[in-house]
Amino acid sequence: MSDFAAPIAQQIWDMKYRFKTAEGEPVDRDVTETWRRIARSLAEVEDDPVAWEDRFYNALKDFRYLPAGRIVAGAGTERSVTLFNCFVMGTIPDSLGGIFDMLREAALTMQQGGGIGYDFSTIRPKGAAVAGVGADASGPLSFMDVWDAMCRTIMSAGARRGAMMATLRCDHPDIEEFITAKRDPARLRNFNLSVLVTDAFMEAVGADGDWELTFDGKVYRTVKARALWDLIMRSTYDYAEPGVIFIDRINQRNNLYYAEEISATNPCGEQPLPPYGACLLGSINLARLVREPFEAAAEIDEAELDDLVATAVRMMDNVVDASKFPLPEQRDEAQAKRRIGLGVTGLADALLMLGLRYGSEEAARQTEDWLRRIARAAYLASAQLAAEKGPFPLFDAEAFLASETMQDMDDEVRRAVSKHGIRNALLTSIAPTGTISLFAGNVSSGIEPVFAYSYTRKVLQKDGTRTEEEVSDYAYDLYRKMHGEGPLPDHFVNAQELHPLEHVRMQAAAQKWVDSSISKTINCPEDISFEDFKDVYLEAWNTGCKGCTTYRPNPVTGSVLSVEEKETPKSDPGEVVYIAEPIDRPEVVEGQTYKIKWPNSEHAIYITINDIVVGGRRRPFEVFINSKNMEHFAWTVALTRMISAVFRRGGDVSFVVEELKAVFDPRGGAWMEGKYIPSILAAIGGVIEKHLINIGFLDGEGLGLKEDPAALRVNDAAPGPACPNCGAFEMRMQEGCLTCGNCGYSKCG
């Protein structure tokens, strides 16, 4: 069936994946034309393109195989775009010229919409001598600030929102500053941060040993390994960053251990990549492959799965030749190794259809079986492609067969690779699939559990209005159609009902047969103890995971918000003066100046509020707003004049506070002094409110206002802070990235 399984799927297609002209006129008349466009484009490199086009089309048309969104949107459009999702950039030289050469490459890649990863461990630490100039180095964090500003500039120029990953080794002298960088809410907002944790460090943590912080052979300081580990844990416990990457495990289990060294990942962490490495992604939709769902005989047909995987591998291999690349180095790297990342989505839905509870030992065993089957089929298909088209250029039979992945494969796979070679150096990865999962009818995303079985989503219509519609999980909706209303079976669990170690169990089960890595979020309850939280990471380490990302809701990361009804005390703003003509300005007025440092803005905003005395009471008379940021000039002048005009008319002017505090910026707000402020204008409203309280015009925050926007909350089911795109309180950590459950916005692009 090629029809959409849910209205949300059609909306996602029309908004993100449907090919349209530059003027917005549709070229793809329906989704079957989208499938045909992709199939035709990827079959063009084949000797018999017509035959392969039909096979590719059949894999796509039932949403059984889902290429990554970049492929769905770009293949066959004749546009000069990359079909690769994310990149790890080149090694950063420890020189000023080399650093800014890398910055330029990053800007060019992000201009085409590519997310990027960088290892900043190659930059000398803060305070180290810079030979020849008589100066001290500013350290990697200072240059990360430069990258962050570049990303912000690219975004403001109207390009697709970028995402960046920054890594730093656990033995770098500036590691403590790196770990705590996100405690400043204004800093590095366009970066995800992860610490590269080595085996030696984990052994030192276990032994409570010393740990040397070194650079270029010089020991700068010695710390206690366990204290440094606790610093990482405390920061991610309180701020959800940094993540942890077990870098030695990644390199040891890398099929290309003999040809490359990995020190960074793409922004969501599922693709550890060498310098200039690119990730090419696609997912098998397990939810669409289950036969006789919710029945005793429910199963996935293994022969169908094998055939689908083989077709998907061939399609993805063709993308390497069909895609454009931002940089020639990225093209050369991709073609030398032909790395692909075939994964899955809809895992939790497929488990539901088989009657298995996500997180249970039985579900973990089934997950491991499916992923083993997919890996085996992918390696056999790639070996067959090598027999037909040749192995990847850097293939070394002896070294490749000695890799840990190949040692785990059965004899048939090893014989095939030994005989023919293999077309793709690495083949499997589990990436974030939030948007393509919605496109496929809202199947569960990647290997994540179902977050919510149904929820209300606001949909922006063409006329600018918003409508609400119910969105249901694919498996849940199917179960209701088959069995009607009533209590759900016990094995229907969601992400919040799982113990964190059950999340780890599922990640570890999948990782055994994934040669790259996995994007997965381990949800932790807000009240989890710090010691139990640390155990999550140790369990991930002990069970073979390549990294760990957790999310614990709290006042900083965004907790569940709820409506609180409470009596609001009335406030007498003093003797209110109602007049038709504005009050004349005295020669001398008294006032105060306040400073706002808004995150992601280079310059502070200064707000001066002057007062007069009327009827024996002090009241606001005029406002001046100033900033060196010329982007703010026009609106700050307009705001100054309008607010001042209102103040000079007299009366109860507290509504100005209400209106400003309610303004939402779709680009995102900020956490300031422990509170989420939805816009700069809301911050200005808060300053004016603070001033009115100081002069006695208002009795307290929110008091005397008809409605205090800062006190408004959404219902108990809301999982997080406000979305910077649509404003819904639906931001939640999913597959290693903050994602909006309402509009699909993702922090990682």
Q: Does 266 qualify as catalytic in the annotation?
A: yes
Cα-only R_g, the chain: 28
Q: Which amino acid is at 208?
A: D
In contact, 594 and 686? CB cutoff 8 Å: no
What is the dihedral sign for C-alpha 407, 410, 411, 412?
negative
Q: Which of 375, 280, 271 is CA-nearest to residue 334?
A: 280
748 is a catalytic site residue: no
Measured CA to CA, the distance from residue 560 to residue 527 in angstroms comes to 12
Q: In degrees to the nearest 10, what's the CA dihedral of 44, 49, 50, 52? A: -110
Q: Tell me which of 53, 105, 241, 270 is the catalytic residue.
A: 270
Within 8 A by CB and 6+ apart from 359, the residues are 449, 493, 498, 499, 502, 503, 505, 506
**Residue 646 three-state SS:** helix
**Interatomic CA distance for residues 506 and 545, integer angstroms:** 10
What is the C-alpha to C-alpha distance for residues 719 and 744, in angstroms, rounded to an integer?
14
Point out the catalytic residue in the list 190, 192, 266, 523. 266
Q: Measure the CA angle with vertex 660, ends 606 and 748; round to 5°.
A: 85
Extract the tokens encoding 69: 């969104």
Q: Which residue has the tokens 């997919």?
A: 374
Q: Is the peptide bond before 553 cis (omega within 30 degrees of 0)?
A: no
User: CA 315 to CA 321: how far, in whole Å?
Assistant: 10
**Distances 487 to 340, 407, 432, 479, 480 between C-alpha atoms, Å:** 42, 47, 31, 11, 10
> Would residue 33 show up in a list of annotated catalytic residues for this protein?
no
d(C-alpha 383, C-alpha 329), whole Å: 26
Query: Hey, what are 49's tokens?
Result: 């393109």
Q: Where are the alpha helices (DSSP H) in 112-191?
A: 140-156, 175-179
Q: Which residue among the candidates 151, 268, 723, 740 is catalytic per the annotation?
A: 268
- Report the catalytic residues: 266, 268, 270
